Structure 1
Amino acid sequence: MNEEPKQQRSGADEDFEEQLRELLAEGANTIRPAPAPYPEIRQRGATERRYRAVAAGAVLVMLAAVPVGAYALAGGDAGGDTAGPAPEVSATLRTPATPAPTPSSSPSGPARPTTEDQLLDGITFEEAVDGLEKCLAYDRSHAGGPSDAFRTDLGTAEEYRIILAMNSTGDSNAPGNGTYVVAVKEPPKQTRLICNIKNGRAEGLNTSTGSDGPPDAGPVRSDINGGKLHQQSFLDRGNWKLPFRWGVIGTVEPSVARVTVSYGGATSRAALDHGWFVASGVLERQVTRAPHIKGYDAEGTLVYDSDEDKYYAKQLP
């Protein structure tokens, strides 16, 4: 058998083969994907997670903003509860009604006295309120002194009831005529104040707190500091300025239905005002005896007589 002679390879063939291998290698590198950029993929995943969290939070905020009555749970046929729309709920706000002021009070001030007869000598309620406010301002302006440790905060005008307003007569101890305003504040911090207004200014203030007198003083109790309303200075004893407007105030128990006050030969029936009694008159002559006070129950029975009260001063100083 004759063998076919081996073909001789030329150098050109070898060069061509080498170039072909290089081209194939380059093509393989081009087709094969490059290694995955792990850091970039990780960063993108974190970003996507943050985006989803923000989106979920926004959905929760929107759900929280929906009115409570907007959706109700209803039983579903598939065995679970499904959300279904509830009837529309009105969210209209209603302004609460403002109670009308009672006839005995002012919307922004103290309460009025029970009777108009407690406002004397042409003094209007508005003038009495103005006097009370000046008294309280006078008290606040004197706070901080050496005796302030014993001072009681008198509060505001709205807390009081004006029970008496009348002219005041000047004397040797306090010259100059003016106006007295008497106001009281109810328990638990019962307070009574007597203020003297002269020339549009508060010139003096007298206050007391708590109930007057000892427990066995009786159902009618004259105010322990009310003497300034019905007497002039002891310096002028026997020489009072006449005619003289006087007043008597005090407290009464619920069992008392009527109080009378006799002074200088005339008798006045007192007004009963939320546990207080208020009497007044005009004195035409000099006196030496204190006002004579009597109290009666609903049956007309005498239940108190100041002449029999061991704590009541029957004679003027």
Structure 2
Amino acid sequence: MNDEQWRGQDGEADTDAGVSGDFEEHVRELLAEGAYTIRPSPAPYPEIRRRGVVERRRRVAVAGAVLVTLAAVPVGAYALGAPGGGARTAASKPSASATLATTPTPTSSPTPTGPAGPATPGQLLDGITPAQASDGLEKCLADDRKYASGRMNDRDLGTADGYRIILAMNSTGDSNAPGDGIFVVAVKEKPTQTRLICDVKPGDDSGINTSLGGDRLPDSPPVQADINGGKLYQQSFLDKGAWKLPFRWGVIGTVEPSVAKVTVSYGGATSEAALDHGWFVASGTLNQQVTVAPRIKGYDAGGTLLYDSDNDESYEKTLP
């Protein structure tokens, strides 16, 4: 069947067959003649490349401007994203050209002068104040320096601020040292262990007893009474049987670290000693004449007896 002889389903030729054939032929001619106009033109590559270069340059310029802007923002002004959508501001730092505030120089407190005080207030007796005890020690040392030229050995006991006062109490005058005053006992550990017993009288007179190097030996007992401490608990042997009463007494000595408690019995009364940096200090008041020396006992932390002066052959148990 050709285009001109096409018939419909009823067997008759379609009356529009000629028209349709002419139209199709015309369309083919038009397509053939204008085919080149329908074909897409080649891509304008030079123009596309030019625009791409311009766009890249523009982006570089914008990025440079952003960097300049960020450089001008102070370090402390930017914010960083924080969990939860918040922001945390970076701590600001002074610029290199900023003038830093001058840190004020702290005012140094004056260096304490004078001797250190005892471990317990009860070691200053009879109303003697720390200032009075310190003044007594100062006077004692000054008198010692004043008479230094008359001694065989040129010792230097140092200054009061190198000592620690462990006892101060009233002293009772006797035939050997007339006039009442105060006793001041002071110790120091460096450069050499030193113990001073100062008997300070009113006016310019004072006496001093000095122990240098310490009395303790490798075989010494855990509690050891001071070898020259007798002047603190007895009056002169010239006044034997005629002591002035009441009489303030004191006992001093050294202890080992194992000793936790020291007691001193004298004239029928017992006192517990104060422990002060390796020293023990006991005191009391006598209202009767005595002939027996103080009895000293030392205990450990559990209450076990470590020392009893009655069993110490080196301890003088009676008074002269």
State whether TM-score is above 0.5: yes
Deviates more, 1:211-220 or 1:111-120: 211-220
1:93, distance to aligned residue in structure 2 (A): 5.2
Which residue of structure 1 aligns with residue 126 of structure 2? 121
Query: Partners of 2:300 and 2:110 in 1: how far apart?
Result: 34
- Is the 1:213–1:224 Cα contact (8 Å) retained in structure 2? no
Which residue of structure 1 aligns with residue 49 of structure 2? none
Query: Partners of 1:256 and 1:152 in 2: how far apart?
Result: 33
- Is the 1:131–1:202 Cα contact (8 Å) retained in structure 2? no
1:122, distance to aligned residue in structure 2 (A): 1.0
Q: Which has the larger radius of gyration?
A: 2
Query: Partners of 2:110 and 2:280 in 1: how far apart?
Result: 28
Which residue of structure 1 aligns with residue 272 of structure 2? 269
Q: TM-score, normalised by structure 2?
A: 0.66
- Number of matched residues? 226
Query: Partners of 1:182 and 1:199 in 2: how far apart?
Result: 17
Query: Partners of 1:90 and 1:145 in 2: how far apart?
Result: 63
Cα deviation digits, residues 115-140 of structure 1 (max 9, x gap):
11111111111100110100110111
1:254, distance to aligned residue in structure 2 (A): 1.1
1:220, distance to aligned residue in structure 2 (A): 0.9
Query: Partners of 1:241 and 1:193 in 2: how far apart?
Result: 24
Establish whether residue 95 from structure 1 lines up as the match of residue 105 from structure 2. yes
**The residue matched to 1:138 in structure 2 has which SS?**
helix
Query: Partners of 1:208 and 1:89 in 2: how far apart?
Result: 61
Q: Which amino acid aligns with 2:188?
A: K
1:314, distance to aligned residue in structure 2 (A): 0.8
Q: Which runs of 4+ in 1 moved over 3 A?
A: 85-94, 96-101
**The residue matched to 1:144 in structure 2 has which SS?**
helix
Structure 2 unpaired stretches of 5+: 1-94
Within a 5 Å distance, the mapping from 1:129-278 to structure 2 comes to: 129-147=134-152, 149=153, 151-278=154-281
Cα deviation digits, residues 183-207 of structure 1 (max 9, x gap):
1112441111011111143421111
Query: Partners of 1:246 and 1:146 in 2: how far apart?
Result: 30
Q: Which amino acid aligns with 2:146?
A: S
Query: Partners of 1:248 and 1:146 in 2: how far apart?
Result: 29
Query: Partners of 1:311 and 1:237 in 2: how far apart?
Result: 23
1:146, distance to aligned residue in structure 2 (A): 4.1
CA RMSD of aligned residues (A): 2.1
- Is the 2:296–2:309 Cα contact (8 Å) retained in structure 1? yes
Check 1:93–1:201 CA distance in 2 against 1; reply closer, same or farther (3 A cut).
farther
1:311, distance to aligned residue in structure 2 (A): 1.3
Q: TM-score, normalised by structure 1?
A: 0.67
- Is the 2:262–2:296 Cα contact (8 Å) retained in structure 1? yes
- Is the 1:259–1:277 Cα contact (8 Å) retained in structure 2? yes
Check 1:223–1:89 CA distance in 2 against 1; reply closer, same or farther (3 A cut).
farther
- Is the 2:148–2:155 Cα contact (8 Å) retained in structure 1? no
Which residue of structure 2 aligns with residue 281 of structure 1? 284
1:212, distance to aligned residue in structure 2 (A): 1.4
Q: Which amino acid aligns with 1:193?
A: L
Query: Partners of 1:202 and 1:188 in 2: how far apart?
Result: 28
**The residue matched to 2:291 in structure 1 has which SS?**
coil
